Amino acid sequence: MEKGIHSFDELKKRFTLTENEAAYKGGNNSLPISITPHYLSLIQSDDPQDPLRKQVFPDCREEKEENLEMMDPLEENNYSITPRLVHRYKSRVAFLTTDICPMYCRHCFRRRFTGNLVGPANDDEIKEAALYVGAHKEVTEILLTGGDLFTMSDAKINHMISMFRMYSPHLIIRLCTRMVVTEPSRFTKQLIDLIKQHNTAPFYLLTQFNHPREICKESIEAVSLFVDNGIPALNQTVMLHGVNDNADTMEELCNTLLFHRIKPYYVFQGDLVSGTAHLRVHLDKTRQIEKDMRERLSGLALPNFMIDLPFGGGKVPISDSYVESCSHNIWTFKTIDGTKRKYPN
């Protein structure tokens, strides 16, 4: 069986690197290097422009910080009730279950937290968050995110869900994971049965498929375990340069997802995270793709094209109603509450 890659030296031994890949040295903004055996099997090793490779191979351009980039562009720290609990929107919170992922995607927007190898939340951190959510009845949903929730053991996941259910039995839980893409063998009937024990309120599976070739037999089987057991699946795609920034790829991705019972939910414009400028798509191109998708896709297959505005501006559609102007390659957006945020092209 093919082995995964967990260091730059291993990567160099097994692949002929491009100039930008070979020049990578790592730095303060860099994530660890980890590529799972399953995802490696999907990469076309003889193609340096392979869209899957671009998502996981490090690049020296990660070491640069471009205009308006920052480590926490969404200002999650400012909305953190605890180091693990983020309350940005009135009705929902995000709980950072762990900083560990089986594979580190180079476009990760939570680089300030992910990959620091701190590990899963401890019992005190879980209970503190559960108590807060239980005391704030306006919170109706929680995102169990990270890192990746499913890097934790079944027992740890069971304990975490039990704690939130104890204080908020009617809380809708979003299970946010890319592991159905990166390590689908993790998902078993035993795990699903464990989750279903806590069915006082619905669960939703939130996936991240960014390219049609990530949708393979193994990943479909992993998602089907959830869907067949009454847990709907929704997908959040990140718009990425050289990966999915054309209408044909996006059309195929959305239609294939829908065929396999995964609702295309969001397509996100890249966040202004330090070291990710080379993967971001020009906003005017994203807006054109969004218009093309409205002509090509059914309502079921059409995702919402969104931008998470910097400086804590929140999520807004990239449609014209939220765009104020574009001048000197700087877009001005109106937030939901009427304030304005800048986004460079």
Residue 326 is among the residues annotated as catalytic for this protein: no
Fold for domain 67-316? TIM Barrel (3.20.20)
67 pLDDT band (50/70/90 cuts)?
confident
Q: Could you give the 3-state DSSP secondary structure of residue 293? A: helix
Average pLDDT over residues 317-324: 83
Of the chain, the end-to-end C-alpha distance in Å amounts to 43
Give residue 304's pLDDT. 97
Identity of the residue numbered 118: V
| Active-site annotation holder among 88, 156, 263, 334 | 88
Average pLDDT over residues 285-292: 96
Strand locations in 208-280 (E): 233-238, 262-268
Give residue 324's pLDDT. 86
Give 238's contacts (C-beta < 8 A, 6+ positions apart). Answer: 107, 208, 210, 267, 268, 270
Give residue 79's pLDDT. 96
Would you say residue 29 has pLDDT above 80?
Answer: no
Average per-residue pLDDT for the chain: 95
| Active-site annotation holder among 60, 101, 176, 254 | 101
Query: Is residue 59 within 8 Å of residue 106, measured between CB atoms?
Result: yes
Residue 315 is among the residues annotated as catalytic for this protein: yes
Q: Which two tokens stand for residue 141?
A: 């949903």
Average pLDDT over residues 181-196: 98
Maximum Cα–Cα distance across the chain:
55
Q: Could you give the 3-state DSSP secondary structure of residue 1? A: coil
Average pLDDT over residues 161-169: 98
Q: Which two tokens stand for residue 173?
A: 């839980």
Query: Is residue 142 within 8 Å of residue 94, measured between CB atoms?
Result: yes
Average pLDDT over residues 95-123: 96
Q: Could you give the 3-state DSSP secondary structure of residue 14? A: helix
246 pLDDT band (50/70/90 cuts)?
very high
Residue 308 is among the residues annotated as catalytic for this protein: yes
| Active-site annotation holder among 12, 127, 263, 315 | 315
Instruction: Extract long-range pairs of 122-131: CB within 8 Å, 24+ residues apart.
Output: 123/159, 125/82, 125/83, 125/84, 126/159, 126/160, 126/163, 126/164, 127/163, 128/82, 128/85, 129/81, 129/82, 129/84, 129/85, 129/93, 129/95, 129/164, 130/163, 130/164, 130/166, 130/167, 130/168, 131/167
**Among 48-52, 178-182, 214-218, 306-310, which is the least confidently predicted range?**
306-310
Please give the helix or strand (H or E) that residue 19 lies within, else none: helix 19-22
Residue 254 is among the residues annotated as catalytic for this protein: no
CA–CA separation, 134 vs 310, rounded Å? 29
Give residue 235's pLDDT. 98
CA–CA separation, 57 vs 24, rounded Å? 10
Residue 88 is among the residues annotated as catalytic for this protein: yes
Would you say residue 180 has pLDDT above 80?
Answer: yes
Q: In what order do the strands lie in the sheet with 323-327?
A: 323-327, 330-334, 340-344
Looking up tokens 């053991």, which residue turns up?
153
Complete DSSP assignment for 324-343: EEEETTEEEEE-TTS-EEEE
Q: Which two tokens stand for residue 199?
A: 């069915």
Complete DSSP assignment for 90-115: TTEEEEEEES--SS--TT-S-TTTTT
| Active-site annotation holder among 108, 132, 176, 280 | 108
Q: To the nearest 5 percent, what fractions of the chain are helix, strand and coil?
A: 35, 20, 45
Identity of the residue numbered 113: F
Residue 343 is among the residues annotated as catalytic for this protein: no
Would you say residue 37 has pLDDT above 80?
Answer: yes
| Active-site annotation holder among 266, 287, 308, 343 | 308
| Active-site annotation holder among 60, 105, 176, 254 | 105
| Active-site annotation holder among 92, 174, 186, 287 | 92
Give residue 228's pLDDT. 98
Residue 105 is among the residues annotated as catalytic for this protein: yes
Would you say residue 68 has pLDDT above 90?
Answer: no
CB atoms within 10 A of CB 162: 13
Q: How far is CA 234 from CA 210, 245, 254, 263, in A?
A: 13, 20, 11, 5
| Active-site annotation holder among 106, 110, 112, 341 | 110
| Active-site annotation holder among 271, 280, 287, 343 | 271
The pTM (predicted TM-score) of the whole model is 0.93
Give residue 1's pLDDT. 56
Query: Is residue 342 within 8 Å of residue 68, measured between CB atoms?
Result: yes
Q: Could you give the 3-state DSSP secondary structure of residue 64? A: coil
11 pLDDT band (50/70/90 cuts)?
very high
Residue 101 is among the residues annotated as catalytic for this protein: yes
